[in-house]
Amino acid sequence: MRSPPRRPAPHWVVVLRRLLWPPADRPRNRAYLRDRLIALPLLAVVAFTTLGWAYADVRADSTYIRTQLTPALGDLADARISLRIAQREAEVSLDAGHAVELSGLGPRYTARTGAAAQDIARLSRGGAFGEAQRQELDVVSGLIDGYEEWIAWARTNVGNPSLRKAGLAYAQSMLCSDLTATPATDRRAPYPPCGAARGVDATTVVDRIAALERDLRHRLAVRAALGPGVLVAVAVSLISFTLLGVGLWRTFFFLRRRMRIRASVPLLAAALPLLLVPWAFADGVRAWSAQRAAVPYADVLAQQASPVVEVHLDDDPLAPPDPAAIRPATARMAATVRQGRFGDVGAVAGLVAPAGLVIGGVVGGALHAYRREYLLVGRGGGSR
């Protein structure tokens, strides 16, 4: 039984196959030069443009993580921890009774509430958050002001135990969702849990700050991962560079055997930038690896940073930095991202795509000149 005849490939498939990979038999010189004139510049533009876009995207993620997300995560953690330390200072100071009227709530309370307010104000001015998050930061700033007013009210009524406890309890309710803990009378007492509500129930200062931290950690995970667009661009770039390299190599042999051109200077100059492509790929992979390595530091800031660690650093500034301390963790996070590069190679990320246009123009101009010269010469003895 005869097998059905094979349907011929579509015309565009035949043309594409001829442009990317010419037939093994001896092609006509005119057709070969015409195909190379179309294929090689197009491959150069596609290869360098896709590589440049993916490379610039990875480099932009590294810059954003280092300059925006890392400081923002540190400020959020510092504001959350500072307010809990301030609450402990207020509890202990108000427990002293009338003595607080003379000594005040203590320098640590003033320093920590001021630090929290500065952290929120710096976040509002920064570029890590959008409009909705900045509105949430305004709400947090207003809640901090209200919290301080209730602490001041409790201090004013320190002589009345009922009013003092009511003011302190209301201030604590603005700060934390967990209200089961009783006010501490000792600065060394364990810190109770603070903030566990989510969604519509997350109305306290710590709840709102924790929600903003979760949003930033999600954004960090998204930035540190290679998106589908980058993966497709890298795949297209690798295929295009492979075809471009093979095409240039075969064109060199064609010019040498058919047209007696031992070395085409324009094509050699256009091929030199291909030697830097592996460095660009390696630098992009290293930058992406550094971004992934920075993600655990965000978890440290959200889950391991505690008032106990920060108070210990306040009491003993010369102590070795704790791995869970806020500022050392953010410094290591930024340093990890900063080290994910090969010297100044990343500075040329924005020049890769324009370089592809220049290389495509050089290759196209050189092949056009060779084809024009061949046609002029071939007119005397017939074209081949």
Show pLDDT as tens, one digit a residue, over the chain (384 residues). 455 556 666 655 555 555 555 555 555 666 677 777 788 888 888 998 999 889 889 988 998 999 999 999 999 999 999 999 999 988 888 887 767 766 778 888 899 999 999 999 999 998 889 899 999 999 999 999 999 999 989 888 888 888 888 888 899 989 988 766 677 777 778 888 787 677 777 789 999 999 999 999 999 999 999 889 999 999 999 999 988 888 888 888 777 776 666 777 777 888 888 888 888 888 888 999 999 999 999 999 998 888 988 888 877 777 777 888 899 999 999 999 988 876 665 566 667 777 778 888 888 777 777 776 665 545 444 444
Cα distances from 155 to residues 145, 166, 173, in angstroms, run 15, 11, 17
Task: Give the list of residues 6+ apart from residue 39 with CB closer than 8 angstroms, or none.
Answer: 19, 20, 243, 247
Closest CA to 227 of 53, 362, 11: 53
CA–CA distance, 47 with 246 (Å, rounded to integer):
13
Task: Please tell me the distance from the alpha carbon of residue 93 to that of residue 104, in angstroms, as a whole number.
Answer: 8
Q: Is 302 helix (H, G, I), strand (E, B) or coil?
A: helix
Phi, psi of 101 (to 5 degrees): -65, -30
User: Sign of the C-alpha dihedral, residues 155, 161, 166, 169?
Assistant: positive
Angstrom distances, CA of residue 381 to CA of 7, 32, 131, 214: 40, 19, 73, 76
Q: Could you tell me the residue ranges of all domains in the chain?
A: 28-375
Residues shown for the chain: 384
Pair 81, 305: CB distance under 8 Å: yes
